[in-house]
Structure 1
């Protein structure tokens, strides 16, 4: 387990939940790619625009980790999703939202043995 990568993702979620865009950006690489099934965008400006559309806090559920990739179950007031993050040198380089945890795990080839306690 890499506590560094997981800690970065948890701090990113804290910043997202509190709409602290400056911290969110500081935890992200300059060329961060952020996306979902509808498409992707790149860079800090795209991250800020995406984050401003998030309403309310996000609660982190189960966390999976392998080789610099962290998958997090996310609970919003509007429902549950999951995101896959690539973390390099304590900066998130990509964040991709999936419809559910099963889809995020399938996309990253993770399984139950990658679940962090």
Structure 2
């Protein structure tokens, strides 16, 4: 278990939520894969476009980590529907302190199943 991977994913969330696209891109690999319910893209240009148009806030909750994979349970709030937050989860692959992929799932169970992580991989900050 690596706190570096957790720190990278938390910093990625901070950059996204603060609309700090430059930092978000620095925390991401050149060939990052981004996927969610409305489609997928690859590369920093695709990430920039998504980050600048999505108008979403993702607040991380429980975190699971194993061998470079981090699953973050998230409270997702869209600017268009601020009174309708949802609980979702995203799976991140982190390599050398950069996010190489992020895939959004409709539930924590789906994200854990897609990554073969389990409750045993729950990150507990001591």
TM-score in same-fold range (> 0.5): yes
Partner SS for 1:97: strand
Deviation at 1:52, TM superposition (A): 2.0
RMSD: 1.2
Matches within 5 A, 1:8-47: 8-47=8-47
CA distance in 2, matches of 1:92, 1:40: 15
- Asked if 1:111 corresponds to 2:118, the answer is yes
Partner SS for 1:70: strand
Q: What TM-score do you get using the length of structure 2 for normalisation?
A: 0.87
Deviation at 1:40, TM superposition (A): 1.7
| Structure 2 match to 1:63 | 63
Partner SS for 2:99: strand
| Structure 1 match to 2:72 | 72
Residue number among 96, 102, 107 corresponding to 2:103 in the alignment: 96
Residue segments in structure 2 that go unaligned for 5+ positions in a row: 78-84
Q: What TM-score do you get using the length of structure 1 for normalisation?
A: 0.94
- Which has the larger Rg? 2
* Structure 1 residues 104 and 89, CA gap change in structure 2 (3 angstroms): same
Q: Tell me the number of residue pairs that the alignment of Structure 1 and Structure 2 aligns.
A: 117
Deviation at 1:57, TM superposition (A): 3.2
Residue segments in structure 1 that go unaligned for 5+ positions in a row: none
Deviations 1:61-96 (Å, cap 9, x if unpaired)?
100000100000110233111000000000100000
- Asked if 1:54 corresponds to 2:54, the answer is yes
CA distance in 2, matches of 1:53, 1:97: 16
